Amino acid sequence: MAEIQAQPRHEPQARRSFTEEFKRDAVRLATERGNVSAVARDLGVNEGVLSRWKRQLQQEAGQPGPGTRPFPGRGNARDEELAKTQRENVRLKQENEILKKAVGIFTSRPA
C-alpha cells in the first residue's frame, strides 16, 4: 500500500498594505491596458483587490461604475438629454411610417 503523506501547511502570509499612490497607479495602468487580470498578475496582487481599488476610485471621483443602473431610484433617467433624444427618435420613426403609408395610398390608383 502507498503511504499517504501529509501536505505541508502553508503559513498564512502577512497582510500587505499598499500606498494610495500605488493603488492609483495600478488602477491607471489597468485602465490604460484594459486588462485588469494581466495588470494584477504583473503587480503581484489579486485581481479582485485591483477591481475593488478601481471601483473605489470611481466612486470617489463620482463616476458611474459598471454596476450602476442607468435608471436609478424611481426610474428617472440619469441623462435627461439622452431620454429626450430617444423619445424624439421614436416619434420620428412613427412619423416616417405614417408618411410611407400615405405615399402608398396616394400612389396606388385604381385601374
Domain shared by 61 and 83, yes or no: no
User: How many structural domains compose the chain?
Assistant: 2
Is 6 part of any domain?
no
Domain of residue 104: give its range: 79-111
Q: Tens digits of per-residue pLDDT, 36-86?
A: 888 888 888 899 998 999 888 888 877 665 555 555 555 555 678 888 899
**Rg, C-alpha atoms of the chain:** 29
- On average, the pLDDT of the chain sits at 80
Please say if the pLDDT value at position 90 is more than 90: yes
Is 36 part of any domain?
yes
Is 74 part of any domain?
no
Alpha helices in the chain (DSSP H): 20-33, 36-43, 47-61, 80-107
Is 5 part of any domain?
no
Domain shared by 29 and 62, yes or no: yes
User: What is the C-alpha separation between 19 and 100, in angstroms, rounded?
Assistant: 64
- How far, CA to CA in Å, does 89 sit from each of 77, 96, 99, 107? 16, 10, 15, 27
Contact predicate 26/19, CB 8 Å: no
> What pLDDT, on a 0 to 100 scale, did the predictor assign at position 97?
93
Is 4 part of any domain?
no
Using 50, 70 and 90 to split pLDDT, how confident is the model at 7?
A: low
Phi and psi at 96, nearest 5°, equal: -65, -40
Domain shared by 40 and 60, yes or no: yes
Is 106 part of any domain?
yes
